[in-house]
Amino acid sequence: MSRLTTPTADEVPAAAQATLDGVRAQFGFVPNMFATLAANPAVLDIVMTLQGKIGRVLDAKTRHTVALAVSQANGCDYCQAMHAYVSSELGGMAHDDIELARAGSSTDPRRAAVARFAQRVVETRGQVSDADLAAVRGAGYTDAQIQAIVTVAVVFLLTNFLNNVNRTDVDIPAAGAANTAA
């Protein structure tokens, strides 16, 4: 059960309503994480702004890979469900790739290096080793791209922390659920 107050539809501050309307348009519903964040429109705006900005720094499958790897390493059940759903339904990732990303790997060698590196960033609280940097560089990532990987990881850590503190009730359909209707 969630531990922070989620405003009802009638209680959502006016400053958060347009954002929630956009989320509803994207997902077809307002996921619990966003509904809860609406209690503080400034926090909701920060999360949405950061999520919008990271869309510019890495390709979508790499961002999804980081999100899955970080959420698994951080033990965030809500974010694991959300990112599995988004990766599958909006990002076109196969179930096997989603599971590999959670495990710090991928069928794509470059994304496997990113997944491992993102998990090392979480596990070491950013105190990665020279070998960790060498591995991601060896996969062809530049220092500028490594900065982007760390930035994306930290944005997902923020939502992991918010959802872990709240113990947000998982309301995300299982990945693939939208495609199972006959």
Q: How many whole angstroms separate alpha carbon 64 and alpha carbon 109? A: 15
The fold adopted by the segment(s) 60-166 is AhpD-like (1.20.1290)
Contact 84, 98 (CB under 8 A): yes
Q: How many whole angstroms separate alpha carbon 89 and alpha carbon 173? A: 10
Tokens found for residue 67: 């999100």
Q: What is the pLDDT of residue 178?
A: 39
Q: What is the mean pLDDT of residues 150-158?
A: 97
- Chain centroid, CA 107 distance in Å: 20
Predicted TM-score (pTM) of this structure: 0.90
The fold adopted by the segment(s) 8-54 is 1.20.5
Q: How many whole angstroms separate alpha carbon 172 and alpha carbon 27? A: 10
pLDDT tens across 40-86, in order?
999 999 999 999 999 999 999 999 999 999 999 999 999 999 999 99
CA distances from 71 to 15, 28, 97, 149 (A): 29, 23, 15, 14
- Chain centroid, CA 144 distance in Å: 21
Q: What are the residue ranges of CATH 1.20.1290.10 in the chain?
A: 60-166
Q: What are the residue ranges of CATH 1.20.5 in the chain?
A: 8-54
